[in-house]
Structure 1
């Protein structure tokens, strides 16, 4: 599989999962630690627009603020530090993540908007959980006035305004409710 080249000032969907689909997060403390490590390693290298941490995979929507080599090294450091801590806690050895993190370059603003909604609705897709109250997604960050590293204002403006941001998420959620039956 040829990996997408990362380019400065471009937007990407970054995602990965546990090796063989296994869990990479066993509890809330794991997810909190991953987010802390992400903040630590990503400082000024990327802008984060959305995230969602599921039990066996994660999604990030980012923009590169620096060159590919720095960002690739940043992700390597993040994944290695998290995997070492997870393996120690879980008394396991070996790879935690699939070999290479996946990356898809976003072609336009519409794709960016749809991807942000998709990432935020991930708990609905996989767990039939209410995306609005899912603790390890950036959706609640958009609803909050708390200080954040998420590029909230830029994305709210992309959707037009806050009400349209919420409306688009709810509209897509209603579509999922009508289209899929979860058991």
Structure 2
């Protein structure tokens, strides 16, 4: 089956599991490292609306940005994880770029690949392990319905409850739920997320209601 390409302007549920029954995260430092790498590789090309990191899997709800390009500062114009810091990011109208030979439209799939490879390198070095950590290719589902968008957000935030890590989502630190109900600065698209639920009070109320776990996981092929 063909893997769906990530198209600019679209919303996607991005998710993946560890391979071979291994854990992706052992300590708080592991979670923090993954989120830091996520910000480095994914934030330039996608807006994030919800996320959760579990011990052996994760979920993200993102929207791929439009009119994003980057200009190379390295001479040969190559792009890999090692030279990622040399890239000058711009959001622009690609039709009026002054120097098209030095401009490249990012491939979102490549950015996720850099994220996973960079984290695997960190993890394997730290714990003396080897091999691939994430299922390949990573899974993605196009979300083109507002009601399902809201269901997916509730599903993502309630994942720790569903898997028995806590009794209420307030108790779990590694999801975007706490950012959504907080007033602290965040790169999460908090205002849009809460706005989809009308207001913060209704956001909390809807998250306390039963989530259609079986229906959603069947749709996600989990």
- TM norm. shorter chain > 0.5: yes
Q: Point out the more displaced range, 86-95 or 66-75.
A: 66-75
Give the aligned CA root-mean-square deviation in angstroms. 1.7
Which runs of no fewer than 5 residues in structure 2 stay unpaired? 69-104, 214-222
Structure with the larger helix share: 1
Q: Point out the more displaced range, 116-125 or 13-22.
A: 13-22
Q: Is the 8 A contact 1:45 1:71 kept in 2?
A: yes
CA drift of 1:21 comes to 3.1
Match of 1:109 in 2: 146
Match of 2:32 in 1: 32
Higher alpha-carbon Rg: 2
* Secondary structure of 1:14's aligned partner: strand
Matched, 1:165 2:203: yes
Q: Which aligned pairs between 1:1-183 and structure 2 lie closer than 5 A?
A: 1-66=1-66, 70-129=107-166, 130-172=168-210
- How many aligned residue pairs are there? 175
Which runs of no fewer than 5 residues in structure 1 stay unpaired? 177-183
Q: Is the 8 A contact 1:20 1:98 kept in 2?
A: no
Task: Measure, in 2, the Cα distance between the counterparts of 1:128 and 1:89.
Answer: 25
Q: Is the 8 A contact 1:48 1:62 kept in 2?
A: yes
**Per-residue CA shift, 1:127-158, capped at 9, x if unaligned?**
24121121000000011101101000011111
CA drift of 1:5 comes to 2.0
Q: Is the 8 A contact 1:133 1:140 kept in 2?
A: no
Structure 1: which 4+ aligned runs deviate by more than 3 Å? 66-69
